[in-house]
Structure formats: C-alpha cells, structure tokens
Amino acid sequence: MVNHQRKKGAADAKRGKIFTKLIKEITIAAEIGGPDPESNPRLRTAIQAAKGMNMPKDNISRAISKANKDSSSYQETTFEGYLPQGIGIFVECLTDNNNRTVSNVRAIFTKHGGSLGTNGSLSFLFDRKGVITVPKGDLDPEEFELNIIDAGVEEIELSDDVFTITTPLEDFHSVQKHLEGMGIEPESAELQRVPNDTKVLTVEQSLQILKIVDHFEDDDDVQNVFHNMEITDEVIAAME
C-alpha cells in the first residue's frame, strides 16, 4: 500500500509539472497572439496539448485570462549541446529569470558529462515538424489516408490503433484545420524537433541518456527536450 501511495504521489507530481508547463505555454501563446484560438495557431496547439493531457477546461480558461490581465515576464530560450555517446539534445525553455535557467541547464550538462553548444550549432540535426496523433477508432485507414494526404501530410503511420501524422512546419495548422473539418479530434498535436538521423546505443547507455533527459525535464523552466537517440524496443522493455 505504501509503495502504491508513493507511486501515485510520484505520478501526481509529474502530472502537476506537465500541467504547469502547459499552463505557461497557453499563457504566453495567448499573450503573443491573442486569446482567440481560431486566429492564434500557437494557442490552438497549446490548448490541444492540454486537452490531450485531460486538463480541466477551467484551468485552460484561467491560463488564457491570465495573459489578458497581466503581461507575464516569460521569455523563450533554447539550448543545444551533446550528451555522452555523442547524443545531440535540444532544450526549449520558458523562463522569467534567464540567469537562473542558464545556470541550471549548464549545471545539468556539466554534471552529467555533456557539453553545451552555441545556439544554432545543432540546427542540422533536427527539423521542426508538426506531429499529430489520432486514435483509429472506426476510421478506415486507407480512406482516412487518402482524405488527409493532400492537406500537407508528409508521413502517416498506424501503430497500436493510433495514427501518427507528421507534417512540415508550414502545413501543421492546415492539417489541423482539415481534421477539424472532418470532425476528427486529435489526441495530441504539437510542434517537435524531429531528428534527421538517430543513433542506436546499448540499453545501458540509453537508460543513462534518458536519466539525464529526466533531469532536464524536471526543471520548472524547461518546456520540451528533444534528442537524436533511437528508442529501441529493448530500451522500452527495460524502461518498463
């Protein structure tokens, strides 16, 4: 029972951290592009991500209202560098104290044998793409693919009864609108930095990298972490 409670506590804490990051993104998106998701693609994406995590509507509304009431002092900043075994990593942050964020991120790189690079140094490793997931449900895969491919889809893959749709950055929102027109509610829709090429490590090395990724994600200022390590079936099994 104690173990169950501890696990539940850890899960609740992680969920709380995710909610905090999502609220921050909704607030800054509403601040930059206005409170109407129809005319603000970034806000629409942030709300979609929040819905995908089952965030209550009240929380979403409050985050949008906060942007209207008082201008937050959040600023966006990114960090690029290498972790052990030559794994490239891209860290996206939203912060109200840049010195603190730089110090914390640099400390994680240093402590775990990584090296922080200059901005743009890893741009060749990652492409910004839209990634949308849609539950298969009653959809006919062939029909669905034919219906959506012309909207700007780069790749569509069906696995475990979930379609994963990849789009170029510039077509991300038109694909979302197309799905909306079809009456389809995505499970998630977000912009990601997708690696052009991935590196396969041993299971032990991979778990070491994922622990470092966890350290970054645990920082309150960090919104997203992307890397170019291949997550193999063996690594997934070891994580479970």
- Asked whether residue 134 falls in the same domain as residue 178, the answer is yes
pLDDT tens-digit series, residues 188-227: 888 899 999 999 999 999 999 999 999 999 999 999 999 9
- Asked whether residue 32 falls in the same domain as residue 118, the answer is no
Spatial separation of the C-alpha atoms in residues 204 and 238, rounded to whole Å: 9
- Asked whether residue 185 falls in the same domain as residue 204, the answer is no
Q: Model-level pTM?
A: 0.80
- Asked whether residue 64 falls in the same domain as residue 177, the answer is no
Dihedral through CA 48, CA 194, CA 182, CA 57, nearest 10?
Answer: 0
Structure tokens given for 52: 């995908």
Mean pLDDT for the chain? 88
Per the structure, the count of domains in the chain is: 3
Spatial separation of the C-alpha atoms in residues 231 and 235, rounded to whole Å: 6
pLDDT range class, residue 13, cuts 50, 70, 90 = low
Other CB atoms closer than 10 Å to residue 24's CB: what's the count? 22
- Asked whether residue 213 falls in the same domain as residue 120, the answer is yes
pLDDT tens-digit series, residues 35-51: 898 888 889 889 988 88
- Asked whether residue 136 falls in the same domain as residue 101, the answer is no
CATH code (residue 185): 3.30.70.980
- Asked whether residue 205 falls in the same domain as residue 96, the answer is yes
- Asked whether residue 170 falls in the same domain as residue 87, the answer is no
- Asked whether residue 64 falls in the same domain as residue 7, the answer is yes
Helix locations, the chain, DSSP H: 2-33, 41-52, 57-69, 98-111, 141-148, 172-181, 203-218, 233-239
Q: What is the pLDDT of residue 3?
A: 39
Q: What is the pLDDT of residue 1?
A: 38
- Asked whether residue 114 falls in the same domain as residue 218, the answer is yes
Choose one of 40, 69, 98: the last residue of a domain. Answer: 69
**Given a cut of 90, is residue 150 above it in pLDDT?**
no
Q: What is the pLDDT of residue 68?
A: 66
Nearest to 211 by CA among 199, 233, 227, 195: 227
CATH code (residue 22): 1.10.10.200
Spatial separation of the C-alpha atoms in residues 71 and 94, rounded to whole Å: 14
pLDDT tens-digit series, residues 128-149: 999 999 999 999 999 999 999 8
Q: What is the pLDDT of residue 65?
A: 85
pLDDT tens-digit series, residues 179-189: 989 999 888 88
Domain that holds residue 145: 127-193
**Given a cut of 90, is residue 53 above it in pLDDT?**
no
pLDDT tens-digit series, residues 67-80: 766 556 788 899 99
Amino acid (one-letter) located at 149: I
- Asked whether residue 219 falls in the same domain as residue 102, the answer is yes
Spatial separation of the C-alpha atoms in residues 100 and 89, rounded to whole Å: 20
- Asked whether residue 116 falls in the same domain as residue 147, the answer is no
Q: Which long-range contacts (CB under 8 A, 24 or more apart) does 201-209 make?
A: 201/85, 201/87, 201/229, 201/230, 203/232, 203/234, 203/235, 203/238, 205/84, 205/85, 206/231, 206/232, 206/235, 206/238, 207/235, 207/238, 207/239, 208/84, 209/83, 209/84, 209/85, 209/87
